[in-house]
Amino acid sequence: MTDAALVHVQKERRSRWMLLTPALVVLFIAASGPLLIVMLYSFLTAGPYGGVEWSFSIDGWFSVLLQRDFFSEELTFADAHLSIFWRSVKLSLLTAVITFLIGFPTAYFIATRPKRQRDIWMLLIIIPFWTNLLIRTFAIMELIRAEGTVNLVLLWLGIIDTPIQMLFTEFAVLFGMAYVYLPLMVLPIYASLERLDFRLVEAGYDLYATRWQVLKRIIFPLAKPGVIAGSILVFVPSLGAYVTPRVLGGGKQLMLGNLIELQFGQGRNWPLGAALSLTLLAIVMIALFVYVRAAGTEENGHG
């Protein structure tokens, strides 16, 4: 490469960086800036009436998992926080499992329809996204409350004598999150199944494979990337869900999002709220790391 060509390449690189600089600055300020502020607040001292005092402290991180007895100063695990952590992870995993069990057959059914019918079915799947999340959550509340549709139907059929208490329970939160996030499972699985060459399925039947064997050895392995993507898309927002647990849980079934809001609001412990937010972010990053590893292994297996 001649000197003139080298200078030209260097000028092009500088021009590209100059064009990228405004976007990089905006991304840093809009994305990294708030995160750095939250991280800074997690290492400060909680103010007596909210806010923070500008003195270094690790009490926020300390209080994520531990608590000090008010009288004896003895250290014990923060049972309330651990219970909320467990409930958040448990309900998020169950939501992912339930949406998969419903979403996979749904996506397969849509993928095997004629082209024109597929568009109609996909429209029906997407329509709930056109409605505000809070409205959809209140709709679920109307279904499962004591005087709601479900209890009225069961009473009318004579299956129960008194209304079942479903609202303000873990079941209500799980039911609401499964309903809200079901499309996020259906869409990526459908995207994988739509590209499936169904001649492979016919070949499996020609080789005397049963329906279960065809599903296990042909359909599911080819749809696995969509299943993994859908599971992450459901698990991550479920873990940080706020509206659904707040409305359907009635303040009795708190999850991580509710606990964080409580610390910034009534608890007036901003460092603890910031530490909990970063803990939630760490859990999400671990889930994404597992997804990337699984996706990478899948690509290498088909490579």
Same domain, 133 and 12: no
- Residues 206-213, mean pLDDT to the nearest whole number: 87
What is each CA distance from 220 to 45, 62, 290, in whole angstroms?
51, 44, 19
Q: Residue 57 domain-assigned? A: no
Q: Residue 195 domain-assigned? A: yes
- What is the token pair recorded at 157? 């059929």
Same domain, 20 and 168: no
Same domain, 30 and 81: no
SS3 content of the chain, % helix, strand, coil (to 5): 75, 5, 20
CATH of the domain at 248: 1.10.3720.10
Q: Please answer whether residues 171 and 250 qualify as being in contact, where contact means their C-beta atoms are separated by less than 8 angstroms.
A: no
Same domain, 105 and 158: yes
Q: pLDDT tens-digit profile of 16-32?
A: 888 888 888 888 888 78
**Among the listed ranges 111-120, 177-186, 254-263, which one has the minimum average pLDDT value?**
111-120
- Residues 102-131, mean pLDDT to the nearest whole number: 90
What is each CA distance from 75 to 62, 69, 283, in whole angstroms?
10, 6, 25
Strand (E) or helix (H) holding 175: helix 170-194
Closest CA to 134 of 239, 235, 236, 247: 247
Interatomic CA distance for residues 74 and 91, integer angstroms = 32
pTM of the model: 0.85
For the chain, give the mean pLDDT. Answer: 88
87 or 15, greater pLDDT: 87
Q: Residue 66 domain-assigned? A: no
Q: Residue 226 domain-assigned? A: yes
Interatomic CA distance for residues 163 and 145, integer angstroms = 9
What is each CA distance from 179 to 100, 204, 285, 289, in whole angstroms?
12, 34, 25, 26
Q: Please answer whether residues 260 and 273 qualify as being in contact, where contact means their C-beta atoms are separated by less than 8 angstroms.
A: yes
Check pLDDT > 90 for residue 41: yes
Confidence of residue 235 (pLDDT cuts 50, 70, 90): very high
Q: Residue 71 domain-assigned? A: no
Confidence of residue 15 (pLDDT cuts 50, 70, 90): confident
Q: Residue 64 domain-assigned? A: no
Check pLDDT > 70 for residue 1: no
- What is the token pair recorded at 77? 């695990």
Supply the pLDDT for residue 287: 79
Q: Residue 37 domain-assigned? A: yes
Question: Containing domain of residue 22, as a range?
Answer: 1-41
Q: Please answer whether residues 91 and 248 qualify as being in contact, where contact means their C-beta atoms are separated by less than 8 angstroms.
A: no
Interatomic CA distance for residues 96 and 218, integer angstroms = 22
Same domain, 28 and 82: no
CB neighbours (10 Å) of residue 93?
15
Confidence of residue 241 (pLDDT cuts 50, 70, 90): very high
Confidence of residue 303 (pLDDT cuts 50, 70, 90): very low
234 or 11, greater pLDDT: 234
Confidence of residue 290 (pLDDT cuts 50, 70, 90): confident
Residue found by looking up tokens 């499996």 in the block: 204
Confidence of residue 237 (pLDDT cuts 50, 70, 90): very high
Closest CA to 278 of 267, 270, 289: 270
Supply the pLDDT for residue 296: 64
- What is the token pair recorded at 165? 């208490």
Check pLDDT > 90 for residue 181: yes
